[in-house]
Chains A and B, each alone.
Chain A
């Protein structure tokens, strides 16, 4: 199993190197500081939202409402910051995470305790949360002059500690924050009993129940984590894009998030994959997106390329799973 994972991460690294190589050959400035920064700024939103989704998909579930969670949590946070500026950026982060957790808990409750199929429950909340985003905002956007300057600075400045390190000093806070989230996710999934329960549940739900793993609680918490990721990504969205618009924020983002998780080696059949692969896959998608723009490839191709990469990943996933089962001596 370890080997299989390493293989996915290795192939992602190879893919990133290949694409970067081709891009640099066609446009040497792809390797410029400005462009590396642009790629690094592209990744955090996706990576933070994808970490929670990783746990969900490992349990054989899916959360298609994550774009709407990002929208509702981000919009509500922006409105609160506009009306109560004294909350500050710390307050914004706490509110975003808290709202995300509540919205995730609603999904998780329906799925873990009421046994609604994940796709049905989250398809429902996809619409409900987006509708609520319009209701709380009255259909109006929050502009960046109404948000605290400190929040905008997350996408502008890095930690003062690094201000003398060349290049590194130009990497803004959002990137470091995302890196921290990724590391915490990896540690959580690998070294805590909750993380191990998630894998056990995804690997074999019946066996997990027999072993006394609190299956319902583990499932519930996976959706709460997904909500936390989405909610926090909503706050990062406000920082990166400045304008928080009820129809724009997070709309369609779930596709990017699910693509990132699946391409990152998290099997839709459950039980495998993890944060490092997903982190690499977010970086891959960032590189691909920025390359499409820098190399002036018609943006009509973007969706097609996304779909293709996703299909390849799922097919490869199925093949790996088969050969792994074969090696394990199971009947296929």
Chain B
């Protein structure tokens, strides 16, 4: 073997040893202590987000951490680096081995996880979906916790856009990928809502896709400004997209009051994370964004998991669970609906006045 090929092999071996770090970031332990020394008698809840490093799920983790302090369970987060359909399977299998009490998961696929989840449930692990449910395969999990009624989201966003642009003028939609189920549901909802005579003077001129990537979202948002010089608003029902739109109107100076703004300028609204949008909201570049508070979802999912583990709550159509009030929202009795879905409520509005409170460290 030549020296050259020995080094080549060594480099390959190093790659093999370290590359998985890129795909499988180390799990982070929650507020209730380390994952390797379980407290006796306490339950252990694991959260598997779509992918690690995603600010939306990081915000959700806060709710788990708060619940873990209050209810005294052990909490940890683990998950894949990329949101791919089968990427979560190995993490679920690890937790079956380690014996979690409950797994709360934002599913990357509506059907790829079925078999693995069944395996976990056979071992007595409660499975709860948050944010992304197993639509059409609900029998493979115990409960689905969804932030708000996705069926009415389209109407809600059109009404909010209408308020800002005085129910008059051109607006566009910037979405994530062309095949994202939630996104398409909301776009359809918005296209249906706009037919209401109330919005007769509002014109939806374009729907574009930023693929939830920084570069593509920004380029598409700038292309909207190029194509429609008289645009009055952009609705971006995606957190990456709404941030890309904010950057686009900021860098082009066409936000309300910007140096290149014509008339009222271009108002960006959509679904955004408080922390990520904080500066743009405070500087008045973006009037307001909405989001169900992801921390609430995390809190409620873990609260339900603990009650389920104690045998005090069994999800079923029509069953109710009493959830204690949260610092920013009143909770109370929540009713489980069809397919064991628990809907939390209306999205929260983040604006100049309240964003600091929600974004707080």
Q: Which A residues lie at the B interface, using CB under 8 A? A: 27, 29-30, 32, 34-35, 37-38, 41-42, 110, 114-117, 120-121, 123-124, 127-128, 130-135, 137-141, 143-145, 155-156, 172, 240-243, 245-248, 289-290, 293-294, 296, 299-300
Give, as a whole number of angstroms, the nearest-CB distance from B26 to chain A.
8
In the A-B complex, list the 9 residue pairs whose CB atoms are closest, starting with the nearest: A131-B21, A127-B19, A293-B223, A124-B15, A145-B279, A38-B222, A130-B22, A139-B52, A35-B226
Chain B residues within 8 Å of A138, by CB: 28
B11 touches which of A27, A116, A243, A247 (Cβ 8 Å): A116
Judge whether B7 and A247 touch: CB under 8 Å.
no
Question: Which residue on chain A has the smallest CB distance to residue B52?
Answer: A139
| A and B contact pairs by CB, cutoff 8 A, 26 listed | A29-B227, A32-B226, A34-B225, A38-B222, A38-B223, A110-B7, A114-B7, A115-B4, A116-B11, A127-B18, A127-B22, A134-B21, A134-B25, A134-B52, A135-B25, A140-B53, A155-B251, A156-B253, A240-B218, A245-B54, A247-B81, A293-B220, A294-B227, A296-B227, A299-B209, A299-B216
Question: Which residue on chain A has the smallest CB distance to residue B243?
Answer: A243
B335 within 8 A of partner (CB): no
Indicate with 1 or 0, residue by residue over B203-233, a CB within 8 angstroms of chain A CB atoms. Answer: 0001011010111101110110111010000
Give, as a whole number of angstroms, the nearest-CB distance from A157 to chain B.
10
Known contacts A144-B279, A247-B82; decide if A128 and B15 are in contact (CB<8 Å): yes
- Chain B residues 1 to 42 lying within 8 A of chain A, measured CB to CB, are 3-4, 7-8, 10-12, 14-15, 18-22, 25-26, 28
Judge whether B226 and A131 touch: CB under 8 Å.
no
B119 within 8 A of partner (CB): no
Chain A residues within 8 Å of B53, by CB: 134, 137, 139-141, 245-247
Known contacts A32-B226, A34-B225, A127-B15; decide if A243 and B276 are in contact (CB<8 Å): yes
Judge whether B219 and A120 touch: CB under 8 Å.
no
Among A120, A155, A296, chain B packs the most CB atoms within 10 A around the CB of: A120
Judge whether A121 and B214 touch: CB under 8 Å.
no
Judge whether B7 and A299 touch: CB under 8 Å.
no
B215 touches which of A117, A241, A246 (Cβ 8 Å): A241
Known contacts A34-B226, A140-B53; decide if A293 and B11 are in contact (CB<8 Å): no
Query: In the complex, how many residues of chain B place their beta carbon closer than 8 angstroms to a beta carbon of chain A?
Result: 55
Chain B residues within 8 Å of A116, by CB: 4, 7-8, 10-11
Question: Which residue on chain B has the smallest CB distance to residue A245?
Answer: B53
Chain B residues within 8 Å of A246, by CB: 53
Chain B residues within 8 Å of A117, by CB: 4, 8
Indicate with 1 or 0, residue by residue over B316-360, a CB within 8 angstroms of chain A CB atoms. Answer: 000000000000000000000000000000000000000000000
Q: Given the complex of chains A and B, what is the CA–CA distance between A118 and B269 in angstroms?
A: 47
Q: Given the complex of chains A and B, what is the CA–CA distance between A293 and B58 in angstroms?
A: 31
Chain B residues within 8 Å of A140, by CB: 53, 55, 58
Q: Given the complex of chains A and B, what is the CA–CA distance between A132 and B19 in angstroms?
A: 10
Judge whether B252 and A34 touch: CB under 8 Å.
yes
B278 within 8 A of partner (CB): yes
Chain A residues within 8 Å of B43, by CB: none
Chain B residues within 8 Å of A41, by CB: 222, 251
Chain A residues within 8 Å of B25, by CB: 134-135, 139
B155 within 8 A of partner (CB): no
Q: Given the complex of chains A and B, what is the CA–CA distance between A166 and B300 in angstroms?
A: 56
Indicate with 1 or 0, residue by residue over B241-282, a CB within 8 angstroms of chain A CB atoms. Answer: 001000100111110000010000000000000011011000
Q: Given the complex of chains A and B, what is the CA–CA distance between A29 and B227 in angstroms?
A: 6
